């Protein structure tokens, strides 16, 4: 019976029933049991179901209206308010539905302070200072602050080996063009950031896929490649891997670094997600500092539009070569963005926002495990994306690409494993993202849509059409 799950809560709570009713409505919105614009039962009927006095239910709904949870309209009765998961995106494009975006904490005080600081920097800086060409790699202040920030994860970071660049993707483009020569291959994980696939295709670089398991890259695969093929470098994402969420264990990091040192193979450590966990194993740059290009940025914990990346080169000579490659491919990072980010780092707002985003990611990751755990979903405690393995179909129904397409029409950011595959054997699975502009209420409805799609795949004749 609808709403009967409220009965136990109402009986066991110390709060008066009329005060608890709004909380129960809010919880059902977050969990996807209620959807925006869904009509609520007549109050007398609900009072009977809940075994409450009619006046108590009226008072409870009045408080829910004051909080903006529900509304009433003549001829319709009461209905649920809130955003709808399937509304068109604000930019009028579906591009965001394939991107892995961090959650937006718009109303958090730390975010408000971030915006105030940004406005103060722009208004307090002579405009022409922000519109001139600048030395590539950022100003001395930019590099110093970037090194201090990176030192939280790579203690040996120094300004002399740090460059500030316009986004991680631009750094990967420059590094690939710098390190990979004709006839050589770039080793990558069998599931890899799609942007790296695009870079390799554009530059005509051959990718050499290395097998993975649930813990990440298999070191033996890397050594076998080093023995059998001319390897230019190894690119990998060791923390909260995109899309599988794997975090490479310490022992494997030691093994990979040892192999790289024995064969003199540069390592490209893409740590885009490494800021999100409260703690991670030591970086590859700790184990092979003379070979590792360590890359970090703000796109996966603050926002993709903040096109700033920090890269730590393995030596001053490598720093100079990379600066030349970046200058040729990107010219320079935006002085506007650099000035704002430097202020955020120096004044502490960046750390405040990162802590708040970590907490929000923790809530969303927990929700994904609660809702999809029985389906084998893989998550990390402070991540905002998940990997959902799907059963391999015998009859061609419900393949991941079909399900992902159907979910995206509902506004659920789902991407099939084929988008990440480098070995032409993509696993049946979906990367799910609970970031971007999704509210907590939206997250519950998005996961309900995923559960419904899985159920249709199991029982219905037409997989993900819905």
- Out of 3.40.109.10, 3.40.640.10, 2.40.40.20, 3.40.980.10, the CATH code matching 133-347 is 3.40.640.10
The phi and psi torsions of 27 (rounded to 5 degrees) equal: -65, -45
**From the centroid of its chain, how far is CA 183?**
34
Whether 276 shows a pLDDT value over 90: the answer reads yes
The phi and psi torsions of 310 (rounded to 5 degrees) equal: -115, 130
Rounded Cα distance, 234 and 173, in Å: 14
Residues of the chain with pLDDT > 70, as a percent, come to 92
Q: Check residue 247 and give its pLDDT.
A: 97
Do domains 6-80 and 95-105+353-459 share one topology? The answer is: no
At the topology level, CATH places domain 6-80 in Arc Repressor Mutant, subunit A (1.10.10)
Whether 90 shows a pLDDT value over 50: the answer reads no
Q: Check residue 110 and give its pLDDT.
A: 94
Task: Tell me the residue ranges of DSSP E strands in 6-106.
Answer: 70-73, 77-80
- Sorting pLDDT into bands at 50, 70 and 90, what band is 410? confident
Whether 117 shows a pLDDT value over 90: the answer reads yes
> Is domain 95-105+353-459 in CATH 3.40.309.10, yes or no?
no
**From the centroid of its chain, how far is CA 257?**
26
**Whole-number mean pLDDT of the chain?**
90
The CA distances from residue 207 to 99, 182, 424, in Å, are: 22, 12, 12
Q: Check residue 140 and give its pLDDT.
A: 93
Residues of the chain with pLDDT > 90, as a percent, come to 71
Work out the average pLDDT over 361-368: 97
Work out the average pLDDT over 170-177: 97
* pLDDT tens track for 215-267: 999 999 999 999 999 999 999 999 999 999 999 999 999 999 999 999 999 99
Residues 6 or more apart from 309 whose CB is under 8 A from it? 164, 165, 166, 167, 168, 170, 171, 295, 296, 297, 298, 299
Q: Check residue 81 and give its pLDDT.
A: 74
Q: Is 382 left (phi over 0), alpha (psi -120 to 50) or beta?
A: alpha
Q: What tokens were used for 256? A: 């990979």
- Sorting pLDDT into bands at 50, 70 and 90, what band is 465? very low
Work out the average pLDDT over 183-189: 97
The larger pLDDT score, comparing residue 166 to residue 460, is at: 166
Whether 346 shows a pLDDT value over 90: the answer reads yes
Q: Check residue 274 and give its pLDDT.
A: 96
Whether 93 shows a pLDDT value over 70: the answer reads no
Whether 193 shows a pLDDT value over 80: the answer reads yes
Query: 178-192, 352-366, 405-419: which range is least confident on average?
Result: 405-419
Q: Check residue 398 and give its pLDDT.
A: 67
- Sorting pLDDT into bands at 50, 70 and 90, what band is 85? very low
Whether 92 shows a pLDDT value over 60: the answer reads no
Q: Which of 98-107, 253-262, 456-465 holds the top average pLDDT?
A: 253-262
Q: Check residue 97 and give its pLDDT.
A: 56
Work out the average pLDDT over 38-58: 91
Instruction: Evaluate if pTM is beyond 0.75.
Output: yes
The phi and psi torsions of 181 (rounded to 5 degrees) equal: -105, 160
Work out the average pLDDT over 434-446: 91
Domain ranges of the chain: 6-80, 95-105+353-459, 133-347
Q: What tokens were used for 294? A: 């360590």
Alpha-helix residue ranges (DSSP H) falling in 296-428: 316-330, 335-347, 349-372, 400-409
């Amino acid at each position: 019976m609808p709403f009967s799950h409220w009965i136990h809560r109402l009986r066991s709570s110390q709060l008066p029933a009329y005060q608890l009713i709004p909380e129960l409505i809010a919880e059902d919105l977050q969990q996807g049991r209620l959807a925006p614009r869904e009509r609520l039962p007549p109050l007398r009927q609900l009072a009977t179901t809940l075994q409450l006095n009619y006046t108590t239910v009226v008072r409870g709904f009045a408080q829910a209206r004051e909080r903006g949870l529900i509304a009433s309209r003549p001829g319709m009765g009461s209905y649920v308010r809130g955003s709808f998961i399937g509304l068109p995106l604000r930019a009028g494009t579906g591009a965001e539905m394939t991107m892995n975006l961090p959650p937006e904490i718009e109303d958090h005080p730390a975010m408000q302070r971030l915006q105030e600081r940004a406005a103060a920097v722009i208004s307090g800086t002579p405009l022409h200072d922000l519109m001139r060409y600048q030395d590539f790699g950022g100003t001395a202040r930019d590099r110093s602050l970037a090194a201090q920030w990176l030192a939280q994860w790579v203690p040996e970071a120094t300004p002399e080996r740090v460059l500030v660049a316009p986004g991680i993707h631009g750094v990967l483009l420059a590094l690939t063009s710098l390190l990979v020569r004709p006839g050589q291959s770039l080793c990558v994980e069998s599931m890899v950031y799609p942007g790296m696939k695009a870079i390799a295709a554009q530059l005509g670089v051959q990718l050499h896929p290395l097998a993975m398991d649930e813990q990440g890259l298999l070191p033996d695969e890397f050594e076998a490649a080093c023995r059998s093929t001319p390897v230019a470098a190894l690119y990998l994402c060791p923390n909260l891997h995109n899309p599988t969420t794997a975090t490479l264990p310490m022992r494997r990091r030691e093994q990979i670094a040892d192999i790289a040192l024995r064969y003199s193979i540069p390592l490209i450590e893409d740590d885009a997600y490494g800021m999100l966990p409260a703690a991670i194993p030591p970086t590859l740059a700790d184990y092979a500092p003379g070979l590792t290009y360590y890359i970090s940025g703000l796109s996966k914990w603050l926002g993709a539009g903040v096109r700033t990346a920090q890269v730590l080169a393995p030596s001053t000579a490598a720093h100079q070569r990379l600066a030349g490659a970046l200058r040729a491919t990107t010219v320079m990072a935006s002085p506007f963005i650099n000035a704002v980010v430097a202020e955020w780092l120096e004044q502490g707002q960046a750390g405040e926002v990162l802590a708040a985003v970590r907490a929000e990611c923790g809530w969303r990751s927990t929700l994904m495990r609660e809702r999809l755990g029985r389906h084998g979903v893989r998550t990390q405690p402070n991540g905002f994306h998940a990997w959902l393995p799907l059963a391999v179909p015998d009859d061609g129904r419900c393949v991941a690409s079909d399900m992902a397409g159907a979910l995206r029409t509902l506004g659920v950011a789902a991407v099939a494993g084929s988008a990440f595959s480098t070995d032409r054997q993509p696993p049946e699975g979906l990367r799910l993202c609970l970031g971007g502009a999704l509210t907590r209420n939206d997250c519950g409805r998005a996961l309900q849509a995923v559960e419904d799609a899985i159920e249709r795949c199991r029982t219905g004749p037409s997989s993900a059409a819905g």
